Structure 1
């Protein structure tokens, strides 16, 4: 019986085998290393992408907030302009309200002004009609109307503050103001610019000349301070 022996591999075959084994090992190791690297770097890539998206979102939000801020600033400027305009209107309304209260006599009047005194003329025995030289309500009306036209802020007669609806009647030698009687002489005081008031009264052919022609004794004085209580205050 013959024995058959396996032929041992040649040196060349052995080298090829070793090379194949080593090559397979290197390929396997490289593949596993690549997978591990991908597993390691993948979270960082995802996180970087997340940061990038968040940054873009913040930039968009900042842009929206900047536009909103500009819009609010424009509204504030509009409100400031409106407020400034309304503030001027408010001040004008306050001044107008004060002027109206002054005219109505609801607040005291204090300031420069004039004092006009009207008195009966001297008795003339040759004139049997006393109406020709005494002061009538028509004379007082002329003075009051001229004072109002020339800018008087407040007017009183013998200390009686006149209201917008005051009425004056003449009864012989006395006049009645809102039902209260006052004898001559009649002192009319007015708060206002004294130069303007006096110039208006003394204009040629004006109230002063007319009173003189009617035999009325007239004196006009400038007053440094005229004080009048409100119509609600008790007047003596």
Structure 2
């Protein structure tokens, strides 16, 4: 073989080998750089993920503590609300009692259902010696008033004059005095309360009505849907 051809052939082979080797080196370099960049990106992302995870854990711990504190506050609020509710209920009952006592004392106007009892002297005019047996006396009025209060009357009046816990009734000849004011017969006694209960109490057999009728007192009982008694002013 011609030595020149051999040399030329070897050069071609060496050239091809160098090209292949150069390509391999270049590819290896680019591959290494690419993997390094990926590794750097992965490392940064991992660091960021860990930081976010730690922050999330910290926030969850704060939220847990805040929820525990909120639970304690809610228990305190419920306790305070219960106390306020009990106090409000107590104040409500106190207000109710105060209103009731003012009503009993005659310090407020009161209206409602009730009864009207009229006590009148007998039609029969006896002799002068027995006339007292045929007129209405204070004890007759007392019996009616006591029975009305016992059967639940919240307010009572005689001829429109409202009674209080200090009221007194005196017999003065043909008239009676109520707290110093004179009233002639007939005596109209009005009472606010349950009309059925008060009527039954007065009409019971051998009760107040029968007793007064037997003592020659004209007794009339009426149920009323609307009664009004004004407040008492002054002492």
- TM category, shorter: 0.7 to 0.9
Pair 1:151 & 2:152 matched? yes
Instruction: Name the structure 2 match of 1:80.
Output: 81
Instruction: Name the structure 2 match of 1:107.
Output: 108
Distance 1:223 1:49 in 2: 87
The alignment's C-alpha RMSD in Å is 2.8
* TM superposition score normalised by structure 2: 0.72
Q: Where is the helix percentage greater, Structure 1 or Structure 2?
A: 2
Where do 5+ consecutive residues of structure 1 fail to align? 1-40
Instruction: Name the structure 2 match of 1:65.
Output: 66
Distance 1:169 1:155 in 2: 17
Q: 1:203/1:127 Cα in 2 relative to 1: closer, same or farther (>3 Å)?
A: farther
Tell me the matched-pair count: 194
SS at match of 1:232: coil
Distance 1:56 1:109 in 2: 69
SS at match of 1:93: helix
SS at match of 1:151: coil
Distance 1:53 1:66 in 2: 20
* TM superposition score normalised by structure 1: 0.72
Offset at 1:49? 8.5
SS at match of 1:190: strand
SS at match of 2:129: coil
Say which is worse superposed, 206-215 or 94-103, in terms of deviation: 94-103
Offset at 1:134? 1.2
Say which is worse superposed, 75-84 or 156-165, in terms of deviation: 75-84
Distance 1:159 1:94 in 2: 28
